[in-house]
Amino acid sequence: MDTYFITHRAITMFNFRHDFIRFAIEKKVLRFGEFQTKAGRLSPYFFNAGLFNDGDSMRQLSQFYAQAILASGISFDMLFGPAYKGIPLATGAAIALAEQGRNVPYCYNRKEAKDHGEGGTTVGAKLDGRVLIIDDVISAGTSVRESIELIRAAGAEPCAVVIALDRMERGLGDLSAVQEVHQDYGIPVVAIATLNDLLGFLQGEAEFTANLTAVKAYRDLFGVCNDEV
C-alpha cells in the first residue's frame, strides 16, 4: 500500500510537470532554436515567462504554481512576490491555492519606499511567519537575495523559493543559481519543471524529439546535477 501511494505521487508529479512544459510550448513561452543567453552561451531553448500575458494563461500558470507548492510538502504561512514579475505570480498562486482549499495571505515589494499613505516598501499582508517566495526563474539570483533580506529584516522567515523552470545550468562557478541560493541561505528551491523534466518530455513526444539531441548536448556542456534542492 505504501508503495502504491509513493508511486501514485511520483506519477502525479511527473504528469503536472510535463503538462506544464506542453502548456509553455503551446503559449510560445518555451521555444526551440538558437538563443544567446546573458552569459553569452548559445542555448537550444528559450523560456520567457513574461509571455504568459493573458487572463487564461495566468489562470493556468497559477494552477501549476499551486500544484508545485502543494506537492512539495513545504510548510508556509504566506506568499511573497518580488517586484516586478513576482507580483502577478504571487497573486495568482494565492488565488489558485485558495481554490484548492488553502487560503493564505500574500504581499509584494515596491522598488522604492512610499513616503505617504500607508508608506513602507511592501504592499498587502504584513510579512510574518514562514514566507514562500514566488518568482519566474532564478538567473543571477538577485531578486531572491533581495527578497530574503527584506523578509528577514521584517522579522519573518523565508522558507523556500518556488519558480517556474530550473534550467539546471552552471553560473560562473560550478553551481547553478538555484544551488547557490540553497547553499547560501539553506532554503529549498522548488520548480514546477526542471531541465531534466524537459528532456524527459522531449524524449517521450515524437513531435519534439528533433530538439532532444541539442538540449542534451547543452546540458552536457553547461548543466549541473540536480539534488532536489
Catalytic residues: 114, 116
What is the C-alpha separation between 71 and 65, in angstroms, rounded?
A: 10
Question: Going by C-beta distance under 8 Å and a sequence separation of 6 or more, which residues neighbour residue 99?
Answer: 63, 66
H or E stretch covering 203:
helix 195-204
- C-alpha distances in angstroms, 72 versus 56, 108, 203? 25, 22, 25
Q: Is 71 exposed, middle or buried (0-12, 13-18, 19+ CB in 10 A)?
A: middle
Q: Give Rg (Cα) of the chain.
A: 18
Tell me if 220 sits within 8 A of 207, measured CB to CB.
Answer: no
- Give bridge partners of residue 31 from the DSSP assignment: 46
- C-alpha distances in angstroms, 172 versus 156, 169, 176, 194? 31, 10, 8, 20
- Give bridge partners of residue 166 from the DSSP assignment: 194
